[in-house]
Amino acid sequence: MGVDIRVENLNAWYGHVHTLQDINLHIPSNHATALIGPSGCGKSTFVRCLNRMHETNPVARAEGTVLMGGLDIYKDASPVEIRRRVGMVFQRPNPFPTMSIYDNVASGLKLNGFRNKRMLDEVVERSLKQAALWDEVKDDLKRKSGASISGGQQQRLCIARALAVDPEVLLMDEPASALDPVSTAKIEDLIFQLKSQYTIVIVTHNMQQAARVAANTGFFLNGKLVEFDATTKIFTNPSDKRTEDYITGRFG
Amino acid sequence: MNHFVTVLAVVSTVLVLVPLVAILGYLIYKGASSLNLAFFTHVPAPVGEAGGGMANAIVGSGVILGLASLIGVPVGIAAGVYLAEYGHGTHLGNLVRFTADVLNGVPAIVMGISVYALIVAMQHHFSGFAGGVALAIMMVPTITRTTEEMLATVPHAIREAALGLGIPKWRTVMSISLRTASPGIITGCMLAFARVAGETAPLLFTAFGNQFWSFNLNEPIAALPLQIYVYAVSPYDEWHRLAWAGALVLIVMIMTAVTLVRIFANRGALKGGH
C-alpha cells in the first residue's frame, strides 16, 4: 500500500543554481498526483529529491524535510533504502540491454541478493501483469533482451521492473513523453489502475494527461510551487494568475 | 563522390588485410613442413642432433601467459573501473590515467630490465614468475584504458535505472555497468593478451628460457618467442626451420585463444538487441 508524502521547506541546488525554493506540500497516499510546469521549472528535480536520486549528481544537494509515511528520508534512512521503497520510471525507457525481459523485471530483487526461484517467477509474472505487458512477452521472457521490444513495451517493462520490488511510492518523470499516442494511452490506463495500490507522482508536460490521471496537480514555475490543488480546481478555476496563464497557453 | 569514398574504403580494407594474409601465408609456407608430432611432444634436441621440438616452450608460454593474465586482467579492469566510476576528475584519477598512458609507451626491453631489477636481481635467479609479472605489467595499461572507455559508453540512463531500484553503487558497477560494457572490455583484454603473447624482449632477462621441461614458476622457464629467437639467430638450417614452425604455432595459438574467448563470451548473450 502507498504512503503519503509530506514535504517541508525543501530546497535544492545544482552547483550555485537554486533550482527548488521552499517547497511545501502534502501528497496523499494511494492517489496519482501530477506536477506540471514549463521546462526547467524544477518539477523533475523535485521528484528526484523524493527518492534521493538528486544527490547522485556530485554538484547537487538538497535541504529540508521529506516525510514518507512519517519516515524522514533525509535523516532516518540511507539513499539505497529509500530507493527500494520508492520506485522510479524515467522519461526514456531504460531497460538493461544485456538482460532478458525476465531478468530486467527480477533485477531489483536479484541484485539485492534475492535468489528464491519460485518466488522470483511469481513476482515477475505478477509485475508484468500489473504493467499490462504479460500477454505480449510471456513466451519470450528469457529469450529476448529487454531492449529488443518496442519503445512502449520497454516503458511498461520499466514500470514492471519498478513494481517488482514492491514499492510504496511510484515516481514517474514524464513517462510517456518519448512514446507514440497508443503507447501513451496504455501508460495512462496503467496509472489509473495502479493508483489504488501505490502513491503515484507523475511529472508531465502534457496538461491533458494531468487532467486525465491525477486527483491533485501542482504547478511549478522558476523553482517554486505556485499552486497545488485538486486537478479540477487547477484546470477550471486556478487561484493564481500565473497558473491560469500557463494552462491557457499564454506561456511555456 | 559516394563512389569514390566507397572505393577508398574498400582499397584501404584490402591494404590492411594484405600484410595479415601475407604473413600467415609465408609462415605456413615456411613452417608447416617442419611441423610434426615430435614438435609438440619433444623438448629441443641438443646441438648437432636432428629432430626435437618445442613442447616445453609451448607449455611454458601457456604458463607465463596464464600468470600474466591472472595478474594483468583483474588489475587492469579494476583500475579502469576506478577511472570511469570513482576517480573522474580527481587528482589520483588523472595520475592513474597519465601513468597508464606512459606505461603503454614504455619499450618492451625496458620493461624486461625493470622487472629484472625488481624481481630477478632480488631473488638472484631468473624465473617464470618474473616473466609473468613483466607481461602482466605490459597488459595493464591497454586493459585499463579500454575498460575506462567502454564504461564511459554505458548510457547514464542505465546506471540511473539501477540506482533507482535501490541497488547499491558497487553492485550497479559490477552487475550493470561492467556487464553492459563487457564485449568491449573482453576485446581490450584479448588485444593486450595477443600483444604480450608474442613479446620476446621482456622475457629475455626474466623467464630467460629453458631447454628442458620446467613447470616451476620459481625457475627459468621456456617460452615460444624466446625459443624462436634463439633458433632464428642460430647458424643451423634445421633450427631456422624449427623457428618458422614455432612462429606459426605461436600465431595459431594466439588466434585460437582469441577465438575461444570470443565464442565463450558470446555464449549466453541475448540476440535481438539494438
Q: How confident is the model at residue B257 (pLDDT cuts 50, 70, 90)?
A: confident
- What grid cell was written down for B168? 547499491
The beta strand positions in B22-133, using DSSP E, are none
Q: Grid cell 496503467 — which residue?
A: A190
pLDDT on residue A216:
95
Per-residue b or e along B2-27, where b marks 16 or more CB atoms closer than 10 Å to that residue's CB: eeeeeeeeeeeeeeeeeeeeeeeeeb
B40 lies in some domain: no
Residue B68 vs residues A133, A189, B140, B184: alpha-carbon distances, Å:
48, 57, 10, 20
Instruction: Collect all residues of chain B within an 8 Å Cβ-Cβ radius of residue A145.
Output: 270-273
Is residue B66, in this structure, part of any structural domain at all? yes
- Would you give the DSSP letter of residue A249? T
Q: Is there a contact between A213 and A175 (Cβ–Cβ < 8 Å)?
A: no
Residue B226 in contact with partner chain A when CB distance is under 8 A: no
β-strand A86-89 against A71-72: which pairing, if any? unpaired
Is the residue at B38 inside a domain? no
For residues A209-234, average pLDDT: 93
Using the 8-state DSSP alphabet, how is residue A55 labeled? G
Q: How far apart are CA A37 and CA A31, in angstroms?
A: 20
Is a pLDDT exceeding 60 seen at residue B274? no
Q: What is the CATH number of the domain that holds B74?
A: 1.10.3720.10
Summarised one tens digit per residue, pLDDT across range A42-76 is: 999 999 999 999 998 889 999 999 999 989 999 99
The answer, yes or no, to whether residue B133 has pLDDT greater than 90, is yes
Name every chain B residue with its beta carbon within 8 A of the beta carbon of A161: 161, 165
Nearest CA in chain B to A51: B164
Q: Is the pTM of this model over 0.90?
A: no
Tell me what pLDDT residue B262 has. 83
Q: CB-CB: which of B155, B163, B171 is closest to A56?
A: B163
In a domain, B6, yes or no: no
B175, closest residue in chain A (CA to CA): A111
Is B8 among the domain residues? no
> Which three cell numbers mark A191?
496509472
Inter-residue contact A50 to A23 (CB < 8 Å): no
- Number of C-alpha atoms within 13 angstroms, CB side, residue B121? 7
| Residue range(s) defining the domain that contains residue B194 | 53-221+237-269
Q: How far, rounded to the nearest angstrom, does the alpha carbon of residue B206 sit from its chain's CA centroid?
A: 17
Does some domain include residue B60?
A: yes
3-class DSSP state of A7: strand
**Interface predicted TM-score (ipTM) of this complex, two decimals:** 0.89
Q: What is the pLDDT of residues B193-203, one digit of tens each?
A: 999 999 999 99
Q: In one letter, which amino acid is B41?
A: T
For the cut 60, the answer to whether the pLDDT of residue A131 exceeds it is yes
pLDDT of residue A106: 95
At A165-191, the pLDDT tens digits run 999 999 999 999 888 888 899 899 999
A94·B161 Cβ contact <8 A: yes
Tens of pLDDT along B19-53?
A: 989 999 999 999 998 888 888 888 888 877 777 88
A225 has which bridge partners?
A220
Helix (H, G, I), strand (E, B) or coil at B127: coil
**How many domains are there within chain B?**
1
| Mutate which: A49, A57, A111, A166, vs B, most B CBs within 10 A | A111
* Rounded mean pLDDT, B107-133: 92
